[in-house]
C-alpha cells in the first residue's frame, strides 16, 4: 500500500494535509477517518510540532498498513502551523472545529497554545489527545486530583509529575537552589510546583525564584540575583532554544554551579545552540524510549522512524540509541494516535460519546513511552516511574544524553 499526501491549503503560514492509504479518490473522501491539529511546525520551537506530526504520521502508516480502523484508513484532514503562538492556535483551532468531518483532535504543542484553545475543545466534545502540553490544568481544570475534562487525554509529562521527580532530587542534594522558569503556563506552573516540592521535602531550603520570557536573549539579571543568593544549583523549567541562551550566560558569568533542566530543556536546540557548553547538564526525561535493548513496541517505532527519517536531529547523535527527547517530540504523538485508534476499534464507531467511553476504559495499552491506562477520573498516564535522569556527556567523541545518577 502507498501512503500519499495532498496539500489542500497553504495560506497565512497554515498548512493543511490530507493523508491516507491509496484508495480511489471518491471512496477515500467518503470513507476515511479524519483527524486534525494545530502545532508549531515552524519557528524557534518547531522541533516539538514537527516531532509529534511525524509521530502521528508514523502511527497512521502503521494503522493503515494493517487495514485501518473498521476497514477505514485514517487521514490527516487539517494540519495547521501556529509557531507556538497562542493567538494563532486559537485561529487555527476554530477552523479545525468548523470541519465537522474531523472526528479526532490533537492539542497544540506547548501549554500556552493549548491553554488558549482547551475550553473550545472541551465545549466541542470531540475526543482530543494532548501530546505535549504539561500544565496540569490542561487536563484537570481544578488542579491535580480533581475531575478531568471529559474529552481530553494527555500523553505528556504533567508538570506535577515532573516537579515531584525533580524536587526530590534537588531538595536532598542542595539547601540553596536557584529556580528559573519561562513565563508561559508551562514554565510558571512547573516552577511553582518545583518550589513547592522542594519546600515540602526540605523546609530549610532557600529558593531564589526568577522568570524570563520565551526567546529572551539575555537572562543575566536573573542569574546575578541567584549568585548573590549563593545558590548551589540552578533548575530551569523551559525549552531548548532558551536553555542555550541561559547556559551561555552562565559561562560568561563564570557561574559553575550544577545545572538541571526540565524535559523540555533537553530538546535538540539546546545542544545545537550551546554546543559543548551543554556538557554536564542534568535533568529528567522518558525512561523507556532510550532503554537498551528496546522493548518490541519501541523497536518497531524506532525502526519505522529510521526508515523514514534516518538518524536526524530529532533522533540525536548516537545512530543506535535515540535521544530520550524523542519521547516528548515524536513518541507522544505516535502513542496518542494509536490509543485513539484503539478506542475507535473497541467502540466500533468514531462517534464522540462512544469513543470517550472506550478511552475511559483503556487499560494496559503498551506504548513507546509507557503502558496507558485511563478512567473517567484519570486522564493522564505518565507517572514518576516512567521518568529517569539524564546528563549530557561525551561518548566516543559524540555529545549525547546518557542515563545518570543525580
* pLDDT tens-place values along the chain, 406 residues long: 333 333 333 333 343 344 444 444 444 444 899 999 999 999 988 999 999 999 999 999 999 999 999 999 999 999 999 999 999 999 999 999 999 999 999 999 999 999 999 999 999 999 999 999 999 999 999 999 999 999 999 999 999 999 999 999 999 999 999 999 999 989 999 999 999 999 999 999 999 999 999 999 999 999 999 999 999 999 999 999 999 999 999 999 999 999 999 998 998 999 999 999 999 999 999 999 989 899 999 999 999 999 999 999 999 988 988 999 999 999 999 999 999 999 999 999 999 999 999 999 999 999 999 999 999 999 999 999 999 999 999 998 889 999 887 6
149 phi, psi to nearest 5 deg: -60, 135
Written as nine digits, the cell of 291 is 532503554
CB atoms within 10 A of CB 70: 14
pLDDT of 404 reads: 84
Task: Give the closest residue to 124 by CA, choosing from 105, 147, 146.
Answer: 105
Burial (Cβ within 10 Å: 0-12, 13-18, ≥19) of residue 254 = exposed
CATH number of 3-156+295-374: 3.40.50.2300
**Beta bridge pairs of residue 284:** 389
Of 338, 315, 302, give the one whose Cα is nearest residue 398: 315
User: What are the two backbone dihedrals, phi and then psi, of residue 228, each rounded to the nearest 5 degrees?
Assistant: -65, -30
Task: Tell me the whole-structure pTM to 2 decimals.
Answer: 0.87
pLDDT value at position 406? Answer: 62
H/E stretch holding 58 reads helix 46-65
Domain ranges of the chain: 3-156+295-374, 160-286+387-403
Among all chains, which residue has been given the C-alpha cell 539524564?
390
Q: Looking at the domain covering 160-286+387-403, what would its CATH class be?
A: alpha beta
The enclosing H or E element of 268 equals helix 268-274
C-alpha cell at 298: 519501541
Amino acid at each position: 500500500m502507498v501512503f500519499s499526501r495532498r496539500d489542500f491549503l497553504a495560506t497565512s503560514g497554515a498548512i493543511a494535509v490530507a493523508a491516507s492509504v491509496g484508495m480511489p479518490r471518491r471512496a477515500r473522501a467518503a470513507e476515511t477517518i479524519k483527524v486534525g491539529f494545530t502545532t508549531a511546525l515552524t519557528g524557534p520551537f518547531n522541533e516539538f510540532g514537527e516531532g509529534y506530526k511525524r509521530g502521528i504520521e508514523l502511527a497512521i502508516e502503521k494503522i493503515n498498513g494493517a487495514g485501518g480502523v473498521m476497514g477505514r484508513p485514517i487521514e490527516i484532514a487539517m494540519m495547521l502551523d501556529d509557531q507556538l503562538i497562542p493567538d494563532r492556535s486559537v485561529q487555527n483551532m476554530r477552523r479545525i472545529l468548523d470541519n465537522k468531518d474531523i472526528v479526532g483532535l490533537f492539542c497544540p504543542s506547548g501549554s500556552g497554545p493549548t491553554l488558549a484553545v482547551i475550553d473550545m475543545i472541551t465545549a466541542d466534545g470531540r475526543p482530543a489527545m494532548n501530546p505535549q502540553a504539561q500544565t496540569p490544568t490542561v487536563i484537570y481544570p481544578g488542579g491535580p486530583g480533581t475531575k478531568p475534562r471529559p474529552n481530553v487525554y494527555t500523553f505528556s509529562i504533567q508538570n506535577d509529575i515532573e516537579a515531584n521527580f525533580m524536587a526530590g532530587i534537588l531538595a536532598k542534594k542542595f539547601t540553596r537552589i536557584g529556580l528559573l522558569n519561562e513565563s508561559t503556563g508551562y514554565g510558571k506552573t512547573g516552577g511553582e510546583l518545583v518550589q513547592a516540592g522542594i519546600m515540602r521535602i526540605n523546609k530549610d531550603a532557600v529558593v531564589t525564584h526568577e522568570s524570563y520570557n520565551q526567546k529572551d536573549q539575555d537572562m543575566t539579571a536573573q542569574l546575578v540575583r541567584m549568585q548573590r543568593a549563593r545558590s548551589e544549583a540552578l533548575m530551569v523549567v523551559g525549552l531548548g532554544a532558551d536553555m542555550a541562551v541561559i547556559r551561555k550566560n552562565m559561562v560568561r558569568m563564570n557561574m559553575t554551579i550544577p545545572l538541571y533542566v526540565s524535559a523540555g530543556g533537553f530538546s535538540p536546540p539546546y545542544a545545537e545552540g550551546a554546543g559543548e557548553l551543554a556538557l554536564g547538564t542534568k535533568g529528567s526525561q522518558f525512561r523507556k524510549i532510550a532503554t537498551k535493548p528496546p522493548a518490541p513496541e519501541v523497536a518497531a517505532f524506532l525502526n519505522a522512524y529510521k526508515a523514514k527519517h534516518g538518524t536526524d536531529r530529532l533522533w540525536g547523535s548516537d545512530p543506535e540509541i535515540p535521544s530520550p527527547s524523542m519521547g516528548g517530540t515524536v513518541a507522544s504523538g505516535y502513542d496518542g494516535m494509536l490509543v485513539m485508534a484503539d478506542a475507535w476499534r473497541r467502540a466500533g464507531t468514531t462517534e464522540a460519546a462512544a469513543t470517550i467511553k472506550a478511552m475511559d476504559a483503556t487499560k494496559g495499552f503498551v506504548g513507546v513511552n509507557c503502558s496507558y491506562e485511563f478512567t473517567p477520573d484519570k486522564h493522564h498516564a505518565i507517572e514518576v516511574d516512567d521518568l529517569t535522569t539524564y546528563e549530557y556527556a561525551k561518548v566516543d567523541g559524540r555529545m549525547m544524553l546518557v542515563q545518570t545518577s543525580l
